[in-house]
Amino acid sequence: MKKRVVVALGHRALGTTLPEQKEAVKHTAKSIADLIEAGYQVVITHSNAPQVGMIHTAMNEFGKAHQDYTPAPMSVCSAMSQGYIGYDLQNGIREELLDRGIFRTVSTILTQVTVDPYDEAFYTPTKVLGRYMTVEEANQERKKGNYVVEEPGKGFRRVVSAPNPVEIVEIEAIRTLVDADQIVIACGGGGIPVLKQDHRLKGASAVIEKDLVAGRLAEEINADELIILTSVEKVRINLGTPEEEELGEITVSQAKQYMEEGHFGVYNMLPKFQASVEFIEKREGRQALITSFDKLKEGIKGKTGTIIK
């Protein structure tokens, strides 16, 4: 039986601008094709902060020049980012597979993820998005009720909440395609955040952390492995100190201990560990691999990366 894996793609997989994404996706597609050739059943999810920021700017600032302009809420921008990233990814993977003589359908599922309206995250926004603004523009944003943060020497940026994922709305569609051995891109950018209001789903002004959704998705499709592809080959403890050390294969207990000791960046590495630990603890025999794109081939053979078992 094929091993089922969820692969979470970080920023480096996609770049930021349109030409960067087109180019980055070619390399990413090679890694995904390696996994497929190695006999894995693959579900892909990905980052979207630079893309959703760019789309939000385009829809809400440049659009104003048009007479028929109406602002686009964050949830709509998030849906657009899934479509645009999925489009490039699915074609990149399809082409790479065809180059290797493999024909497989690759589909992107526009995915909504419910969030809790009382999630603490709504009171303390953490996801920084979009272009740098002047102090005047930042004040305008504040007047609209939006949050901004100052990055010293660079300017101000929009910041939105990153609530926890609760439920993947389109999970049955994802499962059906995976069960049919299709390659699926889902829950992009953490999923489109929505609030359940009776039988309606209302878009939320938020961006869900993609690593947390990746863990949830892996659990929901009963995956064997979670692979998080990022910019570092191995995670480190005591980062930036003389005691800095790379982590190879570790146990869940060790991972929990390092999390408690505060070795990981709260908005970058910590969610990768949280997602991995939660996923592994739900069923025997699972593992998580955190490594860089260019090391994936060795990582799946257990030769590099940080492996949590």
Ligand X SMILES: Nc1ncnc2c1ncn2[C@@H]1O[C@H](COP(=O)(O)OP(=O)(O)O)[C@@H](O)[C@H]1O
Of residues 231, 249, 283, 298, which one binds ligand X by CB under 6 A?
Answer: 231
Q: Is 94 in the site for ligand CP (CB under 6 A)?
A: no
Closest residue to bound ligand X by CB: 10
Rounded Cα distance between 43 and 59, Å, is 30
Please report, as a single letter, which amino acid is at residue 205.
S
Q: Is 183 in the site for ligand CP (CB under 6 A)?
A: no
288 - beta bridge partners? 226, 308
Instruction: Kindly identify the residues of this chain, within the stretch 250-279, that bind ligand X according to CB under 6 A.
Output: 263-265, 268-269
Q: Interface with ligand CP includes 209 (CB under 6 A)?
A: yes
Q: Residue from 236, 288, 305, 307 that binds ligand X (CB under 6 A)? A: 236
The option from ligand X, ligand CP, none interacting with 106 (CB < 5 to 8 A, set by class) reads none
CA 132/CA 154 separation, integer angstroms: 7
Which is nearer to ligand X, 175 or 234 (by Cβ)? 234
**What is the nearest approach in angstroms of ligand CP to the Cβ of residue 11?**
6
Interaction between residue 215 and ligand X (CB under 6 A): no
Report in angstroms the alpha-carbon separations of 179 from 103, 184, 186, 195, 201: 17, 11, 14, 28, 27
Strand boundaries in the chain, DSSP class E: 3-9, 40-46, 106-108, 112-114, 127-133, 147-151, 155-160, 167-168, 183-185, 192-197, 200-203, 225-230, 236-237, 245-246, 249-250, 287-292, 306-308
Task: State which amino acid sits at residue 244.
Answer: E
264 binds, among ligand X, ligand CP, none (CB under 5 to 8 A by kind): ligand X
Is 190 a binding residue for ligand X by CB under 6 A? The answer is no
Smallest gap, in angstroms, from Cβ of residue 159 to ligand CP? 12
Residues in contact with ligand CP by CB under 6 A are: 11, 47-49, 189-190, 207-210
